[in-house]
Amino acid sequence: MNAEDTPVEVRDLLHRAVSGGRLEPSEALAVYLDAGLHDLGRAAHEVRLKKHPEPVVTYVGDRNINYSNICVCGCRFCAYFRAPGQEGGFVLSKDELAQKIQETIDLGGTQILMQGGHHPDLPLSFYEDLLAFIKAEFDIHVHAFSPPEIWHFAKLSGLSAAQVIARLKRAGLDSIPGGGAEILVDEVRSRVSPNKCTARQWIEVMEAAHGQGLRTTATMMFGHLETPGQRVEHLLALRALQDRTHGFTAFIPWTFQPQNTAIQARPLTSPEYLRLLAASRLILDNFDNLQVSWVTMGAKIAQLALFFGGNDFGSTMIEENVVRAAGVSFRLSREEIERLIRAAGFRPRQRRMDYSYLDQAQGARR
């Protein structure tokens, strides 16, 4: 592919984005749909280098911990959950949790990403108690409870999302993961995850979290029942909130894995993933960091994605049950992540959730 693959008017838009100009909605869609893949990648990489001139690629040492797989949501793409009463359902004990955190720290991790199903019976005090226990026992960053979970806690407790966030923060919550965003368009959500919070509610939770000083990430799961235009709509919704709060640390797009799920969809190709990633870098002009997804795309495409706008290799993901349940099982150690980053020509740096660099492994049992 060469520059001729990109129509002249779209080439102008790429130039504008590289020089720091904003892409309006119809322009964002034109760039996503019509730019030649390599022109798009080059433009995204240029923007990435302007934001991060040092040849550094970051990653975070963390572990995914699912506190429970019992869930009343029944999302059609989820191969992980168990309905209440169904065989195989669990709620993690404090001992199991402590063991997982200790293992994370022993492996140089500094953070846990803790999420779970929408359990119908656990009260808000259960989660507060969990946070208080972790903070009393360990010096570790707790990145936990995606917006749909927080909305669920709010519904069960009769509190507002902002009140729930305030209580969880007081109990020890450090930041909120951007999970459960899927595609932030209700027409899509009603077909893939009809019982989860709406797009507006997802944004409302994030806005409340940012308002209380909690940083969060933003994600997008794409390649199921949405249109390309709805993917761009999702990006624009994130950009609009970031304009108001500047609370997102990063954007993390990942492709839907259809195996073992109730949604029939053709798995997306690597060029389709790279196109979305690069377009995100140009459209999300107010986001500093873009994570590549080795968990769903594999190591080689993740390395390539570092030239399509990505500047972060994500997490060591010591445990990733949800994606694994859908039949994907890429595993990488911290040493392998560092080797892959070096092999792509960058310097690896371990970071914290807020993207500050870590000089040495932190986190310890108190």
Instruction: Name the site residues for ligand SF4 (rule: CB under 6 A).
Output: 71, 73-75, 78, 80-81, 117-118, 148, 193, 196
Nearer to ligand SF4, 83 or 159 (CB): 83
Of 59 and 80, the one with the shorter C-beta distance to ligand SF4 is: 80
β-bridge pairing 364-365 and 138-139? antiparallel
In the complex, the smallest distance separating the C-beta of residue 195 from ligand SF4, rounded to whole angstroms, is: 8
Task: Find how far residue 43's CA is from the centre of its chain.
Answer: 23
In the complex with ligand SF4, which residue's Cβ is closer, 16 or 76?
Answer: 76
Nearer to ligand SF4, 57 or 220 (CB): 220
CB atoms within 10 A of CB 300: 12
Nearer to ligand SF4 among residue 73 and residue 209 (C-beta): 73
- Shortest distance in whole angstroms from residue 180 CB to ligand SF4: 7
Count of beta carbons in the 10 Å neighbourhood of residue 139? 12
| Nearest CB to ligand SF4, comparing residues 163 and 195 | 195
Instruction: Give min distance, CB of 92 to ligand SF4, in A.
Output: 14
Q: Which two tokens stand for residue 204?
A: 């409302």
Cβ neighbours around 331 below 10 Å, total: 14
Q: How far is CA 363 from CA 11, 130, 267, 342, in A?
A: 47, 18, 38, 25
Strand partners, 65: 114
Query: In whole angstroms, what is the distance from residue 152 CA to residue 195 CA?
Result: 10
Position 66, amino acid: N
Q: Under DSSP, is residue 10 helix (H, G, I), strand (E, B) or coil? A: helix
Nearer to ligand SF4, 100 or 118 (CB): 118
Taking the complex as a whole, how short is the minimal distance between the CB of residue 81 and ligand SF4, in angstroms?
4
CB 179 within 8 A of CB 216: no
CB of 202 to ligand SF4, least distance (A): 12
Residue type at 156? L
Shortest gap between Cβ of 196 and ligand SF4 (angstroms)?
6
Q: Which is nearer to ligand SF4, 81 or 254 (CB)?
A: 81
Q: What is the DSSP string of 90-151?
A: -B--HHHHHHHHHHHHHTT--EEEEE----SS--HHHHHHHHHHHHHHEE-EEEE--HHHHH
Burial of 321 (0-12, 13-18, 19+ CB in 10 A): middle
Using CB atoms within 10 A of its CB, is residue 98 exposed (0-12), middle (13-18) or buried (19+)?
middle
Minimum distance between the CB of residue 198 and ligand SF4, rounded to whole angstroms? 14
Can you tell me whether residue 297 is helix, strand or coil? helix
In angstroms, what is the minimal distance from the CB of 74 to ligand SF4?
A: 6
Q: How far is the CB of 183 from ligand SF4 (least distance, A)?
A: 14
Q: Which is closer to ligand SF4, CB of 257 or CB of 350?
A: 257
